[in-house]
Amino acid sequence: MDSNRPAAAPTATAIFTDEELWLLQSVIRHETAQQEQWRIPPAGLALNDQVAESILRCDELGLCEAALILTYEDCLVIDYCVPQSAKAASGVAIGKQVLMKSFRARRAIQGGDFDTADEPVSLSGDELQERLREQRGQEA
């Protein structure tokens, strides 16, 4: 590792269903008014891009879920923007599920149990399947 390069921000991976991704798409904006006045603005271009890309991949590949690589700041944006009572288009309550995934990711980041940003953001099919298996094992 280059000693002049800043340390990568810790990240954690969370698996979201396509309905949860659509909920995130509806509330996670790429910017917000007076963004410069916030210490951690309730918006994120990188998170917005990642959600959009995940929705596209689910649609193009026929997947029903996708992994997002979250920073601590991403988790705070989700916490701020997603109401606990949020529902999917089908009427099923999913806000709490999304928040719980974000809270678990935040705990993993704070506890030091995290993936580093040195990992590729684009995962191969095998890597994604492994992450899905790991996530399901943690949630059980």
pLDDT tens by residue, 99-137: 999 999 999 999 865 444 434 445 556 666 666 666 556
pLDDT of res. 83: 95
Rama region for 129: left / alpha / beta (φ>0; ψ in -120 to 50; rest): alpha
pTM exceeds 0.85: no
The pLDDT score that the predictor gives to residue 92 is 94
**pLDDT for 114:** 47
The pLDDT of residue 116: 42
What pLDDT is recorded for position 29? 83
pLDDT of residue 23: 94
Q: Which residues of the chain have pLDDT under 70?
A: 1-7, 31-35, 38-39, 41-42, 112-140
- How far apart are the C-alpha atoms of 42 and 19, rounded to whole Å? 21
d(CA 56, CA 40): 27
pLDDT for position 82: 95
Structure tokens at 19: 């309905």
Query: Residue 8 has what pLDDT?
Result: 73
Give the H or E element holding residue 127: helix 125-139
Q: Which own/partner contact pairs does 21-24 have at CB distance under 8 Å and 24+ positions apart?
A: 21/51, 21/54, 21/55, 21/58, 21/66, 22/55, 22/88, 22/89, 23/82, 23/86, 23/88, 23/94, 23/95, 23/98, 24/51, 24/78, 24/82, 24/98
